[in-house]
Amino acid sequence: MNNHQHAQRYAQHGLRIIPIKPGTKHPPNRNWQNNATNNPDTINRWWNGIYPNHGIGLALGPQPNGHNLFALDLDNHGHGDGHTELANLEHIHGPLPTTWTAITGNGNTHLILQAPTHVTIRNQQASGNRIAPNIDVRGEGGQILIEPTLHPDTGQPYQWKPGHAPWDIEPAHAPQWLLNLVTEPDPTPTPTKAAPMPPPRNDDLFAAHRADWNWHHQLQQRGWTQTRQHGNDTYWARPGKNPRDGHSAILHGTDGPLVIFTTEIDPAWTHAGTRTTDGSGWSFGPFGFYAATEHHGDRSAAARALNQHYNPTPTHTTTIPDITVGDDAETPTELAHLINWDQFWTQTHLDEDWIAWPLIPRGRTVALYAPAKAGKSTIVLSVIAAACTGQQPLNNNETPQTPASILYLDYEMTAADLHERLTALGYGPQHNLEHLHYALLPSFPPLDTPEGAQHLVRLALKLQVDAVIVDTFGRAVAGDENDADTVRNFYRCTGQALKQRGIAVLRTDHSGKDPDKGQRGSSAKNDDV
């Protein structure tokens, strides 16, 4: 059987699977945890459509067939052997029951077992878990490669051990001793300190606020419940959620940041946080969390409140604007977005995540140029209208997707022009275009100025858009579009502010007399894309 046939076989057994990019161990998109499925139509479209020749991954955790799966990955790195380490554990606690067993493409072993449905088992790397140095745990939010996927290093296939495949036997229920090792321990009570009194005065509002902040006290005061502790990290359930239903956020260390999962967060709070690299959550420092919880995500209002708190009788006036473009964090170090190298090398850096494939990648800047009247606007409108109505823009037979939210700044057309184009593209009153926020001939200040950037960023955040379309660049700026400084000012004021917030930008432009030489005017137009 080929990969497609294997994928359908797994689906028939009620397993959530996902394509795996050839030559790698990871899926081709960031949102694979939600996309993993046993739907046969989706699987046909994947392996017969955009993901041919891809391998197969098994998404762990709860399955459509009722199983709650996790995996033990027994490695042999030359300085230790997970098989021997598991044998030692079995000698102490008792043998594991016969279960699904696979031989990986490099000769190691995967054991897949069931946990009770109310138990959540997360991914645990061998260097930090409580099992053994050469045994990794893969659970909810993780995946493993399965037959007949090829190992990216050896080129050899993953294979089920004879008689131990999903169609041969049921996955065994993990014994209690193993569950005790792979589940998180009960939380250790953390002492809290009383709410601090404000100091007489401190011009550095953020430094004073951070110095006074105690994460455990602040979370408990706002109704959050600590569910467990793992190393220096603590796990928290949001107010109103039963801690037995799992955690909503992870507090890293005692100083943070606090990372709240995307599915657990109030949308307004995202204005005060920073999206994590993998898109799974939002990260908050003390000021960001204070702004989210006390001022509904309004950082400017939070800053004014802190100024009043710490400087009740100021000797000078500090002006705090409604929005400071590019100011996503409260300290100079955070403003610099310095890379934490320990985290950088342990994170999985996935392929491009598309808002509208193949034109608009998430969080990126794109320039689309062509001679005048070549149809740039029509192409863009076609693609984004499809994306905003949950369609795959260039493949109507592809699996429907979650509608994207896009802000379109149209500096050229009239309402009659827009009606004509939408009608020609097959759209009418029967279509739901609520996710397409269309600004017709907007009167923003120029986008190569701080004032224009502030207006646009504020609107983009209010609408919670995934992308902004600027059609066309030359009409959205005040400076000469052929001047390099105009292009650089647009990026510094508008482009960078949107990009820091994870909002993609697509701008259309005209080419010069020779289209092969790129966009008309300054070569700086290529610098930010």
Q: Comparing C-alpha atoms, which of 437, 371, 441 is closest to residue 413?
A: 441
pLDDT of residue 78: 60
Task: Quote the crossing angle between the two packed helices 286-295 and 205-212, to the nearest 10°.
Answer: 90
The answer to whether 82 touches 132, Cβ cutoff 8 Å, is yes
Closest CA to 252 of 273, 272, 229, 269: 229
Which element (helix H / strand E) includes 217? Answer: helix 215-221
Write out the two tokens for 198.
């404000």
- The model's pLDDT over 351-360, given as tens digits with 9 standing for 90+, comes to 557 788 778 8
The first and second tokens of residue 163, run together, are 């008689």
**Cα diameter, the chain:** 80
- Tokens 């409580």, located at residue: 130
Q: What is the mean pLDDT, run by run of 10 residues, along the chain of 529 residues?
A: 93 94 85 85 89 93 93 79 88 92 94 92 61 85 93 93 96 93 61 43 60 85 85 86 84 88 84 80 88 85 78 47 44 56 59 75 87 85 90 63 89 86 90 91 88 89 91 87 82 87 89 64 67
Could you count the other beta carbons within 10 Å of the beta carbon of residue 147?
Answer: 21
| Adjacent-strand bridge partners of 406 | 436, 467
Amino acid 346 reads T
pLDDT score of 405: 92
Q: How far apart are CA 155 and CA 381, in angstroms?
A: 43
pLDDT score at 68: 94
Instruction: Please say whether the beta carbons of 464 and 270 come within 8 A.
Output: yes
Give the relative orientation of helices 415-424 and 376-388 as an angle to the nearest 10 degrees.
70
pLDDT in tens, 153-164: 899 999 999 999
Predicted local confidence at residue 115, as pLDDT = 94
Instruction: Give the torsion through C-alpha atoms of 470, 474, 478, 484, to 10 deg.
Output: 110
- Long-range contacts of range 87-96, CB-CB < 8 Å, 24 or more positions apart? 88/132, 89/131, 89/132, 89/181, 93/175, 93/177, 93/178, 94/175, 94/177, 96/172, 96/174, 96/175, 96/178
pLDDT of residue 442: 87
What integer pLDDT is reported at residue 433 of this predicted model?
A: 92
Q: What is the pTM of this model?
A: 0.43
End-to-end CA distance of the chain: 43
Tell whether omega for the bond before 472 is within 30 degrees of 0, i.e. cis: yes
Please name the residue ranges forming H helices in 347-472: 376-388, 415-424, 450-463
Preceding peptide of 403 cis, ω within 30°: no
Q: How far apart are CA 100 and CA 169, in angstroms?
A: 7
